[in-house]
Chain A
Amino acid sequence: MTATAAQAPNPSISDTFYTSLFEVDNGERIRACLQCGTCSGVCPFGYLMGFPPGRMIAYLRADRFENVLESDTVWMCVSCYACTAVCPKEIPLTPGLMTRAKEELLLEGNVPTELQDALMNSQRYGNPLGESPRKRAEWTKGLDFDIPTFREAKRPVDVLWFVGDYPSYHPRVQLTTKAMAKILRVLGVDFAILGPEENSDGDSQRLAGERGLFEMLAEKNGKAFGKYEFNEIITSDPHAYNAIKNEYPKLGINFPVQHFTEFVADRIDELKPHLKDIGERRVTYHDPCYLGRANDIYDPPRKLLGAIPGVELVEMTHNRTNSLCCGGGGGGMWLDGFQWEKAHVRLSEWRIQEAVNVDADILAVACPYEPPRFEDAAKMVQGAGRLMVKDIAELLADSLKMEE
């Protein structure tokens, strides 16, 4: 490093990095940073990061980015967009600065082992869990109706359901996947899934600094999308939604996509006659970072919850743009051990505490990372004994089930 610094014509590591940030949409706004520190203050782990966003920018300006590369606390960033949402100069801190910093750390080999395993699995098997790609559609086996894959359907289909990693493989999340299948069936949607041809959307890997892996996975999905005829993509995974909507187009992969909650909210009048009272329930809704802050989808999930007879919707202290993070984003899903060692608190427990504070019976969620994370957290939080964590799809399906 010092050798390059000594040769005057060569830009320093800080310079190169700083310039590279301009390639991100609106990246040049970093020049306008006021050093107000709001980003570091709102960051859920800002208090124990060596270089929260504001400080990192200060170090860049002081030509000392090397110091950032020596620190491992950048891995505390859960890419939750909290900093980005509050920045008065609207600097793309999450997609630009923090993600680029992780990319540099990854290239340097400064990566926690846990995260390496998830990345290696994604490379090998197309999913971070290290499950067999052949078994990607195995969750459909427990249903009393068939879910066709495009390969089997052999015809144009209206909707491509991008199922996603955790909805396909995680035993807890599979319950929400099955619930979603039921709703699509009741709505009479003409849909199919990719099955083993689907790969991880790659978004969390990208936000964990593995851009090359993201591109590889995106290309595979793009190829699979291109093989079949359909009108739009839907997904229950905000991370997949974000990738297909905002990132795939940059790689020339252009397909219309809707989050499951948007898709169903548009059809709520068709669904309403089938929804029966689930009994009086105080329900609070957790805005997932990649539905809310990253993509401004706040109302459709609430519209769905409001349509379920018996639901009383209450808001937690942090909601909408200032919603709390479950801790799973940006690679956090694969850094639980690492982050626990540094912080000895879990972001998910903070969220559960807020749900308990508003005396909710049910914490409703809309992201596949959340049911296992919040259920796990609920076991640790006092007074959360009767709090249930349910995906909106599960609540809708429960309300449908009463009909039978």
Chain B
Amino acid sequence: MNIVVLAKLIPDLVEELEIDDSGTALDMTWLRLIINELDDHAIEEAILLKERTGANVTVLAPDIEGVDDILFTAAAKGAERLIKIVGDYESGVNNHALARVLTPVMKDLQPDLILVGVEAHEDLDGSIGPLLAGYLDLPFIGYVASIELEDGKATATKEYPGGLSVEMEVTLPVVLGIQVAEEPPRYVAVSKVRQAMKTAEIEELEAGDFDLAGGPTIDRMYQPEVSEGATIIDGSLDDIADSLIGIFKELGVQ
């Protein structure tokens, strides 16, 4: 059983985002990148499956600043194989381009299961999991919260709004979009990650040219006006509490 997890680095929202001079992209100067939280869940789910079934786990990521850290961290958690996709990411890449580049890579790796976070907050041209499934001609199930593997089949629990879930059975190989792992992503001690840096090896594969067709062009990027709708209530805590109680009464909930 081969599991390949795809992980992406995306802007960390802990820093305020700024738009660059072109007005069509984020200013990269102060941007911090962080692993997409849902990809982190996908890695955790893969490791849990490895622990249950003895599967092999490969983690694959685009070669963007910080990628070594996330790959070595994955190795410290138990991933066997680390691959980064080297290419010219500076000029802008979208999910279509990345999915096209990954298609031959995945064909070579021949995974039984491809796991990826079901979405990322920077997605403007769909999410990468189903795009990849489309190019690979594989089935896709998204918003997955648990996986069972048996006899060349996977049973995935897909979440719908309102707490309703559905169990779907699918023939392997399959691409699954992870919403949440069965356990929260584990913490690995820094010493273990440092150990992995000494022992694990990151393979490099060339991305080649990026074909952005399929995604839109951005003409303008901007921050929504702050508080355009909200009437801000200020004053001392006492005053604010009184105003709020007044509003509750007015709205008939108090």
Contact = CB atoms under 8 A, between A and B. Distances in A.
Interface of A: 103, 106-107, 109, 111, 113, 116, 119-120, 123-125, 130-132, 134, 209-213, 215-216
A120 B187 contact: yes
A267 B35 CA distance: 49
Nearest to A211: B191
B121 interface: no
Contacts of A131: 14
A212 B187 contact: no
A212 B186 contact: no
Contacts, number: 40
A315 B16 CA distance: 47
A275 to B, nearest CB: 31
B30 A116 contact: no
B219 interface: no
15 contacts: A106-B187, A106-B189, A109-B186, A109-B187, A109-B188, A111-B187, A120-B187, A123-B190, A132-B15, A132-B16, A210-B190, A212-B192, A212-B194, A213-B190, A216-B190
Contacts of B105: none
Contacts of A116: 186-187
A210 B14 CA distance: 24
Q: What are the 3 closest A-B residue pairs judged by CB atoms, nearest first? A: A212-B190, A212-B191, A116-B187
A132 B14 contact: yes
Contacts of A209: 189
A215 B195 CA distance: 14
Interface of B: 12, 14-16, 30, 34, 184, 186-194
Contact of A212 (B12, B30, B184, B193): B193
Nearest to A113: B184
A72 to B, nearest CB: 14
B189 A107 contact: yes
B161 to A, nearest CB: 26
A132 B187 CA distance: 21
B187 A119 contact: yes
A211 B190 CA distance: 8
Given A113-B184, A116-B186, A213-B189, 16 more contacts: A106-B187, A106-B189, A107-B191, A109-B186, A109-B188, A111-B187, A116-B187, A125-B14, A130-B14, A131-B14, A132-B15, A132-B16, A134-B15, A209-B189, A212-B189, A213-B190
Nearest to A111: B187
A180 B233 CA distance: 32
A107 B192 contact: yes
Contacts of B16: 132
Contacts of B188: 109
Contacts of B15: 132, 134
Contacts of A103: 189
Given A131-B14, A134-B15, A210 B189 contact: yes
A130 B13 CA distance: 11
B111 to A, nearest CB: 26
Query: Which of B186, B188, B193: most chain A Cβ within 10 A?
Result: B188
A134 B192 contact: no
Contacts of A113: 184
B68 to A, nearest CB: 14
Contacts of A130: 14
Contacts of B190: 123, 210, 212-213, 215-216
Contacts of B30: 134
A33 B192 CA distance: 32
A131 B192 CA distance: 25
Contacts of A120: 187
B174 to A, nearest CB: 29
A116 B186 CA distance: 8
A265 to B, nearest CB: 37
Query: Which of B30, B189, B193: most chain A Cβ within 10 A?
Result: B189
Nearest to A125: B14
B187 A124 contact: no
A113 B188 CA distance: 12
A106 B76 CA distance: 13
Contacts of B184: 113
A120 B73 CA distance: 12
Contacts of B187: 106, 109, 111, 116, 119-120
Nearest to B73: A123
Contacts of B34: 124
A68 to B, nearest CB: 18
Contacts of A210: 189-190
Nearest to B15: A132
A393 B16 CA distance: 32
Contacts of A211: 191
A123 B73 CA distance: 12
A116 B187 CA distance: 6
B18 to A, nearest CB: 11
Nearest to A215: B190
A120 B12 CA distance: 14
Nearest to A119: B187
Nearest to A121: B14
A196 to B, nearest CB: 10
A107 B184 CA distance: 17
Contacts of A134: 15, 30
Nearest to A120: B187
A130 B190 CA distance: 17
Nearest to B30: A134
Nearest to A109: B186
A202 to B, nearest CB: 10
Contacts of B189: 103, 106-107, 209-210, 212-213
A130 B194 CA distance: 22
Nearest to B14: A132
Contacts of A212: 189-194
A217 to B, nearest CB: 9
Query: Which of B15, B186, B191, B192: most chain A Cβ within 10 A?
Result: B191
